[in-house]
């Protein structure tokens, strides 16, 4: 099974889409896909679908949605090839295209819908059988990029992080009606994307690609009006491109947005950068970013 959630939800079994169009079954599949190869308790599925006040028929209705998903999976399995050999034991380092921790296929190589969408004690599990997941791929590539940054390999970091970010085709879980749990996961994924984007831009700045970044950063600061990291990087890129007055204007626009929308002044790091540009210091620097996202605290 192949799963994409970094954009439009797309779940494929044997290359055939099993993504329903009905909103509620789509919600169920999205939550199972985000926790692929792990049991999702019935309580969590119920909360996602109906919040804190589920109807009395919640469990029966959930079972109906699971049945609908299994019908789609069964239709996809009809297209399966003749019996396959069982999956071998996974090697210590899984290849990028096979990172799942799903259960092995039956010995005869044939699976039923219940082998794919498994009923477990207290919940359900989506068994990928070693299929792909764009979230797992993103986390793998982003982790490699962060390690390259820590090692001072900025070219390698930029390459790995750019590849990770290319997996995003839109907002996470686009087209899915989200309850409280899916909304939380979508926000978490967006934060991981912003962190990877911040580090990729940082790597490009360290490689002297400031002019190449100007167009991208122009769009980003318009979208994230109170995101201090992106504004600081834009200021730095403008300054290094000989556009000092524009860099100072970016600071003033950020300050206005922070005061107006959040009642805050820019951080000390941004104020130091602004003073450095104002005094025409040759090489102002942004303060280092930690992986936990301290400089992302005012992202907006």
Give the CA distances from residue 3 to residues 69, 139, 147, 300, in Å, rounded to whole numbers and listed in that order.
15, 14, 26, 29
CA distance 37 to 35: 6
Strand partners, 2: 12
Q: 10 Å Cβ neighbour count for 67?
A: 12
Helices (H), 242-299: 244-262, 268-278
Domain spans, the chain: 1-207, 210-300
The CATH class of the 1-207 domain is: mainly alpha
- DSSP assignment letter at 5: -
Nearest to 194 by CA among 178, 172, 218, 177: 172
CA distance 133 to 127: 12
Average pLDDT of every residue of the chain: 87
Q: 10 Å Cβ neighbour count for 259?
A: 13
CA distance 293 to 300: 14
Confidence (pLDDT) at 80: 61
Is 1.25.40.10 the CATH classification of the domain at 210-300? yes
pTM above 0.85, yes or no: no
- Is 271 in contact with 248 (CB distance < 8 Å)? no
pLDDT in tens, 30-81: 999 999 999 999 999 999 999 989 999 999 999 999 999 999 999 999 876 5
CA distance 116 to 124: 10
Nearest to 202 by CA among 160, 230, 165, 223: 230
| CA 264 from centroid of its chain's CA atoms | 28
pLDDT in tens, 166-210: 999 999 999 999 999 999 999 999 999 999 999 999 999 999 999
- Is 104 in contact with 92 (CB distance < 8 Å)? no
- Is 236 in contact with 276 (CB distance < 8 Å)? no
| CA 228 from centroid of its chain's CA atoms | 21
Nearest to 12 by CA among 22, 3, 24: 3
pLDDT in tens, 103-136: 444 545 678 999 999 999 999 999 999 899 999 9
The answer, yes or no, to whether residue 91 has pLDDT greater than 70, is no
> What count of residues does the chain have?
300
CA distance 40 to 64: 16
């Amino acid at each position: 099974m192949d799963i994409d959630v970094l954009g439009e939800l797309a779940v494929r079994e044997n290359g055939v889409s099993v993504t329903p169009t009905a909103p509620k079954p789509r919600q169920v599949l999205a939550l199972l896909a985000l926790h692929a190869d792990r049991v999702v308790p019935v309580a969590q599925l119920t909360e996602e679908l109906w919040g804190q006040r589920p109807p009395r028929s919640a469990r029966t209705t959930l079972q109906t949605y699971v049945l609908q998903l299994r019908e789609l999976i069964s239709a996809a399995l009809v297209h399966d090839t003749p019996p396959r050999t069982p999956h071998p034991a996974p090697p210590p380092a899984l290849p990028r295209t096979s990172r799942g921790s799903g259960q092995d296929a039956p010995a005869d190589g044939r699976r039923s819908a219940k082998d794919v969408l498994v009923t477990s004690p207290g919940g359900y599990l989506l068994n990928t059988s070693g299929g792909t997941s764009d979230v797992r791929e993103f986390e793998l590539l982003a982790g490699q990029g962060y390690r390259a940054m820590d090692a001072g390999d900025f070219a390698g970091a930029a390459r790995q992080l750019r590849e990770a970010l290319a997996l995003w085709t839109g907002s996470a879980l686009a087209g899915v009606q989200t309850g409280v749990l899916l909304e939380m996961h979508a926000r978490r994924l967006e934060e991981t994307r912003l962190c990877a984007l911040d580090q990729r831009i940082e790597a490009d700045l360290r490689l002297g690609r400031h002019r190449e970044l100007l167009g991208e950063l122009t769009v980003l600061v318009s979208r994230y009006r109170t995101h201090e990291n992106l504004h600081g990087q834009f200021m730095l890129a403008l300054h290094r491109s000989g556009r000092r007055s524009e860099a100072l204007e970016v600071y003033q626009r950020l300050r206005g947005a922070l005061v107006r929308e959040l009642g805050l002044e820019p951080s000390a790091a941004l104020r130091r950068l602004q003073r450095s540009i104002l005094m025409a210091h040759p090489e102002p620097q942004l303060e280092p970013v930690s992986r936990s996202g301290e400089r992302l605290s005012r992202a907006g």
